[in-house]
Amino acid sequence: MNNSKGFTLVELAIVLMIIGVILGGVIKGTELVKNAKIKRLYRDYQNVQTAMLAYLDRTGAYPGDTTTAGVVDDNLISDNPTFWSALRAANLYDTSGTGNPAHVFGGTMQVSSGILGFTGNVLCFENIESENSTTGAAVSIDKLFDDGDATKGNIRAVTDAATIPTSTAAPTGDYASLVTNKLAWVCISLD
């Protein structure tokens, strides 16, 4: 009597198929989570834009527009105290926080004007995942909600040190770390 123990080819094939199905589900689940975060980030933008326009309608000025020039005076250097505090004081945005609110990818939302080639006010999301300049959440946001070109349109992204604007009003920070840490800035026009 042959008493060898082991798996038959059929049993091995079944196990490999089960492993493949599990891996496929995990990979697809990760993609679903990423897509949900992208859509949530865009909803955050829409909420800020709605709050800003409601404030403009009520007061005749933009929140944070201390010079009445029609632009947000805050810059991206640190918190945007006048913009966010004006929205919070008018009960138009989350009143529980101070400083810049966080977004779903873990960075903060910042408001400025006249950066990345925009002529008006923009909302920027810092620290968005971006594998490189052609993949990742930063590029997916632009492809899904704009023209797919990170250098033009209503959504623009800074995904590597080579695309950093030279303007003094550009997003501040260690731009080399954008590439090293696979992060990006995504800015969307508020006007």
Q: What are the E-state strand segments in 12-163?
A: 109-113, 121-129, 155-158
Domain boundaries along the sequence of the chain: 9-189
User: Could you give phi then psi for residue 108, rounded to 5 degrees?
Assistant: -115, 160
| Residues in a beta bridge with 40 | none
* Residue 128 neighbours by CB distance under 10 Å: 29
* Residues of the chain above pLDDT 70, percent: 76
The pLDDT-based confidence of 63 (bands split at 50, 70, 90) is confident
Helix H segments across 60-167?
81-89, 137-145
> Tens of pLDDT along 165-184?
444 344 444 444 444 456 67
Rounded to two decimals, the pTM is: 0.74
- pLDDT the model gives residue 54: 94
Identify the burial level of 58 via C-beta atoms within 10 angstroms of its C-beta, where 0-12 means exposed, 13-18 middle and 19 or more buried. exposed
Is residue 165 within 8 Å of 115, Cβ to Cβ? Answer: yes
- pLDDT the model gives residue 133: 52
Is residue 125 within 8 Å of 158, Cβ to Cβ? Answer: no
Place of tokens 């091995």: 12
Is residue 146 within 8 Å of 154, Cβ to Cβ? Answer: yes
Fold entry, domain 9-189: TcpA-like pilin (3.30.1690)
Listing from the earlier edge strand, what are the strands of the sheet with 155-158?
A: 109-113, 121-129, 183-189, 155-158
User: Could you give phi then psi for residue 33, rounded to 5 degrees?
Assistant: -65, -45
